[in-house]
Structure 1
Amino acid sequence: MRASICASISAAANPCCEGRGSRPATTTRGRRPPGDGRVLTGAITVRQNRLARGRKPPFPRRSPAAFRRGGLEGFLNRLASPGRNRQAISSQDAQGSSCVSQEETDILGAGVRPFRRFRPFQRHRRRRIHVFPVQPARPRDRRRVVPAGDKVFQGSPTSAQQEAAETYLAQVAQHPVIRAVRATAVGMLSVASGSRVLDVGCGLGEMSRAFASMVGPAGSVTAVDLNPAMVAAARDRDPAMPADAAVKYEVADVASLGYRDEFDVVWCERVLQHVPDPAAAAGSLARAAAPGGRVCLLDVDWGALVVDGVDEALTARVLEVFQLKVRQPAAGRTLRRRLVEAGLVDPVVRSVHAVSTGLADAASVIPVLDRRQAALVAEDDRDAWFDGLALADIRGHFLMAMPVYVAVATRPFQD
C-alpha cells in the first residue's frame, strides 16, 4: 500500500518520467534527463529506482517533529515535494502558494498542510546539551591586594621602623595644618573641666596631654593605642604635671575597646583609615561614650590628594599605588556616615583644606612626597617621580592640596 502511494506520488511529482515505463529517467544524481530542462534531485532518482525494482523506498527516520507536522499523510506529502525544481519552489513560495500539486492533493486527501522544503535523507538528531556545574561568581575587588607588611603608617616590630614612625608623628603634630584641624575639633567639642576623655589611637600622646590640661585634676584621661611600643613612647613623653589630670595609658584595639557609657568625650584622630572595619570601630567608639557624650572623628581623604607640577600620567600611577597601601584611603569623607550608622545624633562636619606650594613642607606630612619613603612608590616610577617633584619645586610649579575632615556627634540619652 505504502509503495503504491509513493510510486503515484513520484510519478505525479516528476512528469519527465512519463512515457518511459517504470525505468527512471537517470540513475546518476543531478544529471539532466534528455528532452527536459529540469534537474532531478538525487533523492527522487534513487527512490524511483527502488520503486522500479519493486522495493520499498528508504523512508528517513521520523522525528517527533514529523508527527507534529500532519502525521503520516503530512510526512508522505513532504517526501513528494523535494523532487520539484528549486527555482519553481522559490517562485511559488514568494507568491505564497503551495508546493504540492493538485494531483498530489487528490491522492493524499484534501486539507493536508503543505511544506516548502524537506530533505528526506537528513537525520533528525536531538542536540545534546552539556550542563557543567557553575561556580558562584566571586566578587572582584578592583583594588590590588597589598601585603600587610607594605601598609603605610602601621606599627612595626622593628626598632628602625618604630623610630621612623615616631619621627613622622612628631613632625605631623607640629605642622600648621594638623594644628588647625585639632583646634577646629576642640572648638566643636568644648571640653569642660572635670570631663572624662578617651583618646583612641593616641600615638605619641600630644592630645592626651592637652586634654589632661583642659579637664584639670577633677577630670580623667585614658589614652589607648594598638601598638605597645607607641603606648610606651607616649608614657615616656608625659611630664605628669600636678595641675593636670593623670593620664592612664592602655593597649587596646579600637574595634573592641571594652568600654561602655564611661566617657564624656571620645577622641579618635586619623585611625579609621587604618582599620579593616570602620563601621565596627565607629560602633565601639559610640558605645564607649556616655549618654549625652560626644564622639569626635578626624581623618584624611587620601583619595582627594592632588599633586601638580609633575607629569599627569606619572602622578596618577604613583598616587594610585599609594592609596592601595592605605586600608581606607577615603575614610575622611565617610566620617559623618559612620557616626550616624553608629546611632549618634546631631552630627556636625567641618573640613580643613591643606594647601602647600613647597615640597619640603608637603613632604613632612605626605609620605609619598618624601624621598625617604621611596618604598611607597613603584620601582619603575621612583626616580622619575622624585626627580620630577624636585624639578617642579625648583621651577615654582609644585602644588599639593588635600582635605582633612572633622565630624562630631552626640550619644542620645535613650538608644
Structure 2
Amino acid sequence: MLEPTPNPTIPLQSQHDIESPSTQPIGNSHRATLVSIWSISSNAKILEIGCGQGDCTEILATAVGPTGHIDAIDPAPLDYGSPETLGQAQARISQSSIGARITWHQASPLEFLASVEEGTYDAVVLCHSIWYFASPAVVLDTLRALRGKTPKLCVAEYALSATEPRAVPHVLAALARASLEVHRTVSEENIRTALAPHTIRSMAEETGWKLVGESMIVPKEGLEDGRWETNTVVDDSFLKDVESEIREEKIRAVLRSMREAVKNAVGILKGDPVRTMDVWVATFE
C-alpha cells in the first residue's frame, strides 16, 4: 500500500462540516470552551492550522481582541464546500466586526511554515484538524516545523472514547472511515489519519514539545460531528467505495463488518440521535 502524499489542494476541512443555523450556537460554544482551556490571551498573535470555513477562527479572533491577530491557513480551494464555500465563509467573516483581526492563507501548513520566522506566534492552534492530515508522517513533520515558531501549541482532537453511550457509533464510524481512507492515496474525507491522543502526545514529545496540560470534555448535545461521520459510513456510498477501491477480499470483509458494527450501534439507540465522542484538549510548550 502506498502512503498518501501531501497535496496542497486537498482541504483540511470537508464540506459536510458546515453547521446549520440551528446547531451553530452549539459549535460556537464548543470552540469557546476549547479556547478558554487553552487560555488564549488578548493581544496574542495566533497561527491556526486547518481553519476551514473559519468556525474556530472567529472564536480566536474574539479572544485576542482588537490588538491581536490570527493567521488562518488551509490548503483547500476557495470554491470548495457546500452550502457555503470556504471563500464565501472567509469573505463573510472578513466583513464582520472582527474581520480586520484575521489574515487568511490558502497554503499547505508545511509550505507556510517554511517562510515563518522564529518566535513569530504566541500560540499555534490545531482545532479538530489533525485527523485531516494525509498521514502520520505529515503530522510529525508539521509538529517538528512548529518548533521555534511559537512557545505554545494548542491541540483539540477527538479522543476515540465515548463517555456518553450514544457517542459509541461515532467512535466506530471514525475507525471504519479511517480504515477505508488509509487505502486511498488521495482523500477528501474528514477522517484520513485517525490518531489517538496518546499517539499525538507521543509525536509532539518526539518533536520536542512538552505536555503542560490536558483534559477530556464531553461535547454537548447538538454538536453534529458524530451524526455527520456516522451517516457517511452507514450510507451505501461507503460500501460502494469499499467494493470499487479495495482489491483484497480480506480487507473488504473487515470493512463491511466495521460498517455493520456502526449500523448495529445506531440501531441500539432506537431512534435517539447519535452524539459526538469525547474531545481531548491539550497544551504543549
State the Cα deviation string for residues 301-339 of structure 1 (Å, max 9, x = none): 34x469979xx9x99997653231243222433333333
Q: How many residues align?
A: 243
Task: Specify the alignment match of 1:201 in structure 2.
Answer: 50
Per the alignment, do residues 399 and 243 of structure 1 end up closer, same or farther by CA in structure 2, a change over 3 Å counting?
closer
Task: Specify the alignment match of 2:237 in structure 1.
Answer: 375
Task: Specify the alignment match of 1:295 in structure 2.
Answer: 153
Map 1:364-403 → 2, pairs under 5 A: 365-370=227-232, 373-377=235-239, 388=264, 391-394=267-270, 402-403=277-278
Task: Specify the alignment match of 1:283 in structure 2.
Answer: 144
Map 1:204-219 → 2, pairs under 5 A: 204-219=53-68
Residue pair 2:48, 2:70 contacting (<8 A) in 1 also: yes
Could you tell me which of 185, 191, 195 is aligned with 2:40? Answer: 191
Per the alignment, do residues 146 and 236 of structure 1 end up closer, same or farther by CA in structure 2, a change over 3 Å counting?
same
Task: Specify the alignment match of 1:182 in structure 2.
Answer: 31
Inter-partner Cα distance in structure 1 for 2:38 and 2:165? 35
Task: Specify the alignment match of 2:279 in structure 1.
Answer: 404
**RMSD (CA atoms):** 4.2
Q: SS at 1:197's partner residue?
A: strand
Task: Specify the alignment match of 1:266 in structure 2.
Answer: 124
Map 1:7-406 → 2, pairs under 5 A: 155=11, 165-170=14-19, 174=24, 176=26, 179=28, 181-229=30-78, 231-242=86-97, 245-256=100-111, 257-258=113-114, 259-260=116-117, 261-275=119-133, 276=135, 277=137, 278-289=139-150, 293-302=151-160, 304=161, 320-324=175-179, 325=181, 326-345=191-210, 347-354=212-219, 365-370=227-232, 373-377=235-239, 388=264, 391-394=267-270, 402-406=277-281
Per the alignment, do residues 316 and 298 of structure 1 end up closer, same or farther by CA in structure 2, a change over 3 Å counting?
closer
State the Cα deviation string for residues 35-91 of structure 1 (Å, max 9, x = none): xxxxxxxxxxxxxxxxxxxxxxxxxxxxxxxxxxxxxxxxxxxxxxxxxxxxxxxxx
Per the alignment, do residues 214 and 147 of structure 1 end up closer, same or farther by CA in structure 2, a change over 3 Å counting?
closer
Normalising by structure 1, what TM-score? 0.47
The structure with the larger Rg is 1
Residue pair 1:219, 1:245 contacting (<8 A) in 2 also: no
Normalising by structure 2, what TM-score? 0.65
Inter-partner Cα distance in structure 2 for 1:297 and 1:167? 22
Q: SS at 1:228's partner residue?
A: coil
Inter-partner Cα distance in structure 2 for 1:146 and 1:305? 29
Per the alignment, do residues 316 and 381 of structure 1 end up closer, same or farther by CA in structure 2, a change over 3 Å counting?
farther
State the Cα deviation string for residues 196-221 of structure 1 (Å, max 9, x = none): 11111001012222222332332221
Q: Which has the higher contact order (CA 8 A, sep 6+)?
A: 2
Inter-partner Cα distance in structure 2 for 1:383 and 1:344? 37
State the identity %. Answer: 17
